Amino acid sequence: MEGLLIKSDPKIMMGKPVIAGTRITVELILEKLSTGESIQQILKEHPQLEKKAIFAALDFASKALRADVVYPVHEAVK
């Protein structure tokens, strides 16, 4: 499913993965969710999105993090 909804094109948002047909990045969706915005709030702010696109962004991010890469984790700033 995610492969049809997530696209990357060097001419759009510097090649960052976006929801197909939009300039809404996977990164933006993750940021919004991480700050506590609900899926319904995101859909209201971006009416061109569908719920399945948000789940596709989460699926894409999950698969991207499975790569054999070590990510340094720093203590959160309080």
Q: What is the pLDDT of residue 1?
A: 45
- The mean per-residue pLDDT over the stretch 10-14 comes to 93
Q: Map out the domains of the chain as residue ranges.
A: 2-62
> The pTM is what?
0.81
pLDDT, tens only, 18-77: 999 999 999 999 999 999 999 999 999 999 999 999 999 999 999 888 876 666 776 665
Helix (H) or strand (E) holding 41: helix 39-45
The CATH class, in words, for 2-62 is mainly alpha
Q: What is the pLDDT of residue 55?
A: 97
